[in-house]
Amino acid sequence: MMWDGLLVGVGGFFGAIARYCSSQWIAGRVSSRFPYGTLFVNLLGSFLLGFIIGGKWGTSIYLLFGTGFMGAFTTFSTFKVDSLQLAKQKEWRVLGLYLGISYLFGILFAFLGYTIGAWING
């Protein structure tokens, strides 16, 4: 049980760092009202978590990468704050696009990741 918590903690540590670096890298290259950094990490995280679950790699891998890394890498709270800020600024088109892409492609990428993971790990 303690080992499980350590796996989640280590994964979370690296996932948070990866999220921060990825978001900052994207934000430094794109000047826009659109929250590209959050969208990128959430879509990539959806794909990777689907891949991990679909591949049935085992409990330790799931705890380290699925729960720990992906839990810290993806960011539902930032997604909601970004959405709220766009609504407060009355950026309705940007908000609609952001929500549509996030939900539609998030599910699509998770399914794609799951399918590829299941195919690889047969």
75 annotated as ligand-binding? no
Residue type, 100: G
Three-state DSSP class for 80? helix
Name residues whose C-beta falls within 8 Å of residue 96's C-beta, 6 or more positions apart in sequence. none
Domain residue ranges of the chain, discontinuous segments joined by + = 2-121
DSSP class of residue 17 equals H
**pLDDT tens, residue by residue, 7-22:** 999 999 999 999 999 9
**pLDDT tens, residue by residue, 69-87:** 999 999 999 999 999 999 9
Q: What is the pTM of this model?
A: 0.90
78 annotated as ligand-binding? no
